[in-house]
Structure 1
Amino acid sequence: MRRIRYEDGGTPDGGLFLEEVPVPEPAAGELLVKVAAVGVTLPVVRKVRAGGPPVALGGEIAGEVVRAGEGVTGFAPGDRVTGLCFGHGYADYALLGVPTAVRIPSAATARDAVALVRSGVVALGVLEAARLAEGESVLVTAAAGGVGHLAVQLARLRGAGRVVGAVGDPAKAGFVRSLGADEVAVYGGEGWGGPYDAVLDAVGGELLGPAVRALAPGGRLVAYSSGGGTIEAYDLLVDGRSVIGFQIARVARSTPERYAGWVEELWRLFAAGALRPAVHAEFALADAARAHAVIEARANRGKVVLVP
């Protein structure tokens, strides 16, 4: 089978190489999946760009179960599933742990699944972490991204009174408004149109400080970015603002029933036509470096997908 191998960053091809390797065997509690779609994520792109030791390129995958490992119940060959692959996901075949596996409804495609499920549960999770009440205002950074474009829609569906999407490129404004955003703010602008009751931040870095300062008195910022950043304590003390860290893996491990409930909500909204996952572009497996370049340039509107 074919697989993308990462060696190191900084090369013209991004350190990504196509190789032929044997099809892996599922261990106990694992599913061997014939991959139909792979969702490219910013954390993986950042890991590759940072260089360093070779790592397995994991991420969201969707496809058909070929074989189940020892002790697996509830799944069988032929089932269509999606989930987070912690090993080699950029491949024709990948291993998926049963705890992360989710069935794909018949009305959805593999690309729908990788655009919706993982990013969608993160979006729902950060909204709940923000304790967003009906009628409150919310700012979503990286609003055109894989998580952000769903968070904008879900904030509206959950009764937010004012939804604003923040982007780095004004050319994305039309796309973000089409998702239901009332307004679009561009990074670098004064106050980003605030103050807001909640900010959902997927960017971090140098934008973290301005995001905190855009909060209203008592406002909450949920930080779920892999981009780091520094916050001044004074910015929190003023008007009693707070920052909450969110990690979806922790929720999936500690409260799997909560994670499953979010997945059910996503599929229900999708089936009703209320939630529309967007795919910016599809790339062949051999073009993984090009897919990474789109994410790195922040050029995407929705999800970037690899199709083996």
Structure 2
Amino acid sequence: MRRVRYEHTGGPLFLEDVPVPATGTGELLVRTEAIGVTLPVVRKVTEAAEPVPLGGEIAGEVVAVGRGVTRFTAGDRVTGLCFGHGYADYALLHETMATPIPGGASAVDAVALVRSGLVALGALEAARPVPGESALVTAAASGVGHLAVQLARLRGASRVVAGVSDPGKAVFLLGLGADAVITYDADDWGAPVDYVLDAVGGELLTPAIAALAPGGRLVAYSSGGGTVQAYDLLVGAKSVIGFQMARIARGQPEVYERWRKELWGLFTDGALKPVVHGTFALEDAAKAHEVIESRGNLGKVVLLPRPARDLA
């Protein structure tokens, strides 16, 4: 089978031929049909001290199951987060990280909706929004952000502000229901908001906290790091809450499942609309990463492996 790999920090990415992996205990072997490209994985290539497997969101058909698997069988269609090599014709997915794809939904729908939607919904839940409150979503045009904008509105936000680096993304976000779009370098971010869903981190944390109204909450779910000054929180009795999706998936599977069902329900009803910026062949993974690195995407970036060879 084909797999994307790199040999040193910064790449380049290249295809290699390797054997199809064998399932371990609790694992599913999935023939991938769609692979979501995320900023954390892109950052691993550019920042990790040593090469790491390119994992992430995958969707496809189960072709084999390992010992102890009880929820899935060969032929099922699933999506989930792969911690090993996910940029490949076949990938291993642990049963605890897998969720079924409903009939009528495509693999592209699944990688555009489920993992990004779970992060967006989880971050929103962590903010404990009250109907009528106002929200600011940073990285609002990203795979997660554009869903967070919609979910904030669906959860009763009276005003949703979208934060972006490029003003050219405004039309896209206003079309998804944002009331206003601000750029990070703007002198005025507008009226204070009750909560911020932050996927950027770093130097943006300071102005994001300043954008909060007294008693406001910032939910940090970025891989970008950053430092918060305690005084900035004390002045307005503000708070910062960290959110990590893997902790929910592993420690609270019932919550994970409830959120998943909610997302598919909203998708089926047409209330939540995941957007795919573009699709790329597996051999063009580097081009897909360039889109993410340049912050040029409007919605999800997806890899599409061409039909894989049979296991035989």
Measured against the shorter chain, the TM-score band is over 0.9
Query: Which residue does 2:310 correspond to in 1?
Result: none
Q: Describe the superposition over 1:145-181 as per-residue Cα deviations: whole angstroms up to 9, x where unpaired.
A: 0100000000011110100101100110000111110
Residue in structure 1 matched with residue 3 of structure 2 by the alignment: 3
State how far apart, in whole Å, the 2-side matches of 1:141 and 1:61 are. Answer: 25
Counterpart CA distance in 2 for 1:284 and 1:292 is: 12
Q: Are 2:227 and 1:266 aligned?
A: no
Aligned positions of 1:199-218 closer than 5 A: 199-218=196-215
| Aligned residue number for residue 242 of structure 1 | 239
CA contact 2:71–2:95 (8 Å) conserved in 1: no
How many angstroms does 1:251 deviate by?
1.1
Match of 1:97 among 90, 94, 99: 94
Q: Aligned equivalents of 1:263 and 1:158: distance in 2?
A: 16
What code does the residue aligned with 1:142 have? Answer: A
Stretches of structure 1 that go unaligned for 5 or more consecutive residues are none
Per the normalisation by structure 2, the TM-score is: 0.96
What displacement does 1:201 show? 0.3
Residue identity opposite 1:5 in structure 2: R
The AA in structure 1 aligned to 2:4 is: I
**Distance in 1 (alpha carbons) for counterparts of 2:226 and 2:170:** 25
Contact 1:121 1:263 survives alignment (8 Å):
yes
Task: Give aligned pairs, total.
Answer: 305
CA contact 1:191–1:213 (8 Å) conserved in 2 = no
Q: Helix, strand or coil for the counterpart of 1:56?
A: coil
**Aligned residues: percent identity?**
70
Distance across 1 between alignment mates of 2:133 and 2:254 = 27
The CA distance in 2 between the partners of 1:177 and 1:235, in whole Å, is 30
Q: State the alpha-carbon separation in 2 of the partners of residues 65 and 253 from structure 1.
A: 21
Deviation, structure 1 residue 205: 0.8
Per the alignment, residue 65 of structure 2 pairs with 68
Q: What is the distance in 2 between the residues matched to 1:46 and 1:194?
A: 33
Contact 2:5–2:53 under 8 Å retained in 1: yes
Q: Does 1:107 align with 2:104?
A: yes
Q: How does 1:181-200 map to 2 (within 5 A)?
A: 181-200=178-197
Q: Does the Cα contact within 8 Å between 1:37 and 1:307 map onto a contact in 2?
A: yes
Matches of 1:161 and 1:59 in 2, distance apart? Answer: 33
Amino acid at match of 2:247: R
1:193-218 deviations in Å (ceiling 9; x for gaps): 23000000000111111000000000
Match of 2:36 in 1: 39
Aligned position for 1:278: 275
Aligned residue identity for 2:234: L
Q: Which of the numbers 148, 151, 161 marks the counterpart of 1:151?
A: 148
Question: Which residue of the other structure, out of 151, 164, 167, is the alignment partner of 2:164?
Answer: 167
For residues 213 and 57 of structure 1, the distance between their equivalents in structure 2, rounded to whole angstroms, comes to 36
TM-score (norm 1): 0.97
What is the Cα deviation at residue 9 of structure 1? 2.7
Name the SS of the counterpart of 1:160 in structure 2. coil
**Which of 125, 130, 134 is 1:128 aligned to?**
125
Note the C-alpha offset of 1:51: 4.6
> Which of these residues, 137, 141, 144, is aligned with residue 140 of structure 1?
137
SS at match of 2:31: strand
Candidates 214, 217, 220, aligned match of 1:220: 217
- Measured after TM superposition, the shift of residue 78 of structure 1 is 1.0
Structure 1 segments of 4+ aligned residues over 2 angstroms from their partners:
none
User: In structure 2, the residue corresponding to 1:262 is in which secondary structure?
Assistant: helix
Give the CA deviation at 1:234: 1.2
In structure 1, distance between residues paired with 2:138 and 2:71: 38
Whether contact under 8 Å (1:81, 1:104) holds in the other structure is yes
SS in 2 for 1:143: coil
